[in-house]
Amino acid sequence: MRPFGALLGADEAKAKLLGAARRVQRVEDAPLDAAWGRVAAEDLASPLDVPGFARSTMDGYAVRSADAGPRRVVGEIPAGATVLPKLGPGEAARIATGAPLPPGADAVVRVEDAREDGSFRVAPKPGQFVDAAGSDLARGAPVLRAGDVLTPARLGLVASVGLARVRMLAKPRVALFSSGDELLSPGKEAQPLRIFDSNTITLRALLAREGAEVFPQPALPDELDALRDALRAAARSHDLVLTSGGASVGARDLVVDALRAEGEVLFHGVRVKPGKPLLAGRVGEALVVGLPGNPTSALSNASIFVAPLVRRLAGLPDAAERATRASLGADVRGEPDRHLFLPVRLEAGRAFPTFKGSGALTSLASSDGWIGVPEGATLAAGAQVDVHGW
Ligand code: AMP
Ligand code: MG
């Protein structure tokens, strides 16, 4: 056993990790239907006016607002019309919502404001119920700015200027390893004294949700050379190498030794519960994070430290707004020297702790998210807490 040195506080560890992260520089050109939730790589200026022509915002009559008295209806303009009547004095044309205004017209009178005899209840004002050409987006105006998250509305805006593809940041590439001689892949036959690897699937889902391109790797044995080879090889072609298992200080916990041999250790050991053995460092250009193998520790650490790290690498903003405010359903006693991350279940705006013990994946599976309890704090039932969804 090689005991931990001084442990970092949770905030300090997170800051150190985020401070070491650099947003991916790689850019790719991809179709809009693969772009949702991605990050725009560069400014995009509109190549044209939207709308490209003055159009009616109502079903009604296109008119010349300067005319007086009843109008003579001389035509009909549906959306998509390509031939437009030219309005002379005293003339109007029926027009559909979205249809182009005919030459001569400068206003639209709504159907409900028109009478049978061609007169109108209210005299039309110039420009009424008309979208001028370029009124939504003028040619040259910004459609996207570098760093914008590609939301559904922004993707629609890109499509509205006629583009089918967009330049976006590449997803951070994450190599995902589990380690431990006892591990067996799900789908294989159960074997006595071995356990199924659950971390790979849990972490894969979490990483993908935060914008990573995940490359799951075969489980590693508890052997220094194998761990070193894996770190070295994976670091060459990934932005982040994430391991679970073997991160603690037991004789067979060799990830820290492998990391030290192949690169540098940023920190090892954080004052959190669960997940104290958290390990971070780098090998070449790649960041390396070693999670403890215990599934609750691995998921807890991943939610708190790795999710924001991946978002930082991806160029995505912090996801703090995903937290839900709730009132605590029971008293919670913190730990004197560990920041506690407690799984909770949400029920009608109240948060109930589900923690059963650090090995119990069911205490997480039955929870909706976690709350943080600072070192030494005691939270009384009824206190307002932020529940961070898994
Ligand atoms: P370790 O961090 O390697 O000391 O592992 C702590 C505990 O987590 C042990 O009981 C391991 O068997 C278990 N464990 C390690 N890796 C995994 C994994 N990928 N899936 C499920 N359990 C694991
Ligand atoms: Mg182990």
For residue 351, the CA-to-ligand 1 centroid distance in Å is 28
- Picking from 219, 230, 343, the residue whose alpha carbon sits closest to that of residue 293 is 219
Other CB atoms within 10 A of residue 312 CB: 21
Strand partners, 280: 267, 289
Query: In this structure, what DSSP letter does residue 128 have?
Result: T
Examine the pLDDT at 364 and tell me if it is beyond 90. Answer: no
Question: pLDDT exceeding 90 applies to what percent of the chain?
Answer: 93
Q: What is the mean pLDDT of residues 288-313?
A: 96
For residue 295, the CA-to-ligand 1 centroid distance in Å is 7
Measured between its terminal Cα atoms, the distance across the chain in Å is 33
Whose CA is closest to atom 17 on ligand 1?
A: 293
**Minimum-distance ligand to the CA of 279?**
1
For residue 195, the CA-to-ligand 2 centroid distance in Å is 11
Give CA–CA dist 21/314, Å, rounded. 10
Query: Distances in Å between the alpha carbon of 263 and those of 38, 228, 266, 285, 356?
Result: 31, 10, 10, 10, 37
| Residue 264 pLDDT level (bands cut at 50, 70, 90) | very high
**Minimum-distance ligand to the CA of 180?**
2
Encode pLDDT of 197-217 as tens digits: 999 999 999 999 999 999 999
**Minimum-distance ligand to the CA of 199?**
1
Q: What is the mean pLDDT of residues 62-88?
A: 95
Encode pLDDT of 27-70 as tens digits: 999 999 999 999 999 999 999 999 999 999 999 999 999 999 99
Phi and psi (nearest 5°) for 250?
Answer: -75, 170
**Minimum-distance ligand to the CA of 198?**
1
Mean pLDDT of the chain: 96
- Picking from 347, 344, 333, the residue whose alpha carbon sits closest to that of residue 379 is 333
Examine the pLDDT at 319 and tell me if it is beyond 90. Answer: no
Encode pLDDT of 217-239 as tens digits: 999 999 999 999 999 999 999 99
For residue 226, the CA-to-ligand 2 centroid distance in Å is 14
Alpha-carbon dihedral sign for residues 38, 42, 45, 47: negative
Whose CA is closest to atom 10 on ligand 1?
A: 294
Question: What pLDDT does residue 173 have?
Answer: 98
For residue 265, the CA-to-ligand 1 centroid distance in Å is 21
Question: What pLDDT does residue 1 have?
Answer: 67
CA-CA-CA-CA dihedral for 98, 100, 104, 110, to nearest 10: -20
Cβ(310)–Cβ(207) below 8 Å: yes
What DSSP line would sit under 171-233, residue for residue? Answer: PPEEEEEEB-TTEE-BTBPP-TT-EE--HHHHHHHHHHHTT-EEEE-PPBPS-HHHHHHHHHH
| Residue 285 pLDDT level (bands cut at 50, 70, 90) | very high
Question: What pLDDT does residue 213 have?
Answer: 98
Which one-letter amino acid corresponds to residue 112? Answer: E
Pocket of ligand 1 (CB under 6 A): 178, 180, 182-183, 195, 197-199, 244-248, 253, 292-295
Examine the pLDDT at 360 and tell me if it is beyond 80. Answer: no
For residue 297, the CA-to-ligand 1 centroid distance in Å is 9
Q: Which atom of ligand 1 is nearest to the CA of 179?
A: 16
Query: Distances in Å between the alpha carbon of 192 and those of 59, 121, 196, 199?
Result: 74, 87, 11, 20
Element (H, E) at 56: strand 55-56
Examine the pLDDT at 152 and tell me if it is beyond 90. Answer: yes
| Residue 355 pLDDT level (bands cut at 50, 70, 90) | confident
Among 10-19, 79-88, 191-200, 347-356, the minimum mean pLDDT is found in 347-356
Examine the pLDDT at 359 and tell me if it is beyond 80. Answer: no
Q: Which atom of ligand 1 is nearest to the CA of 250?
A: 4
Q: What is the mean pLDDT of residues 134-142?
A: 96
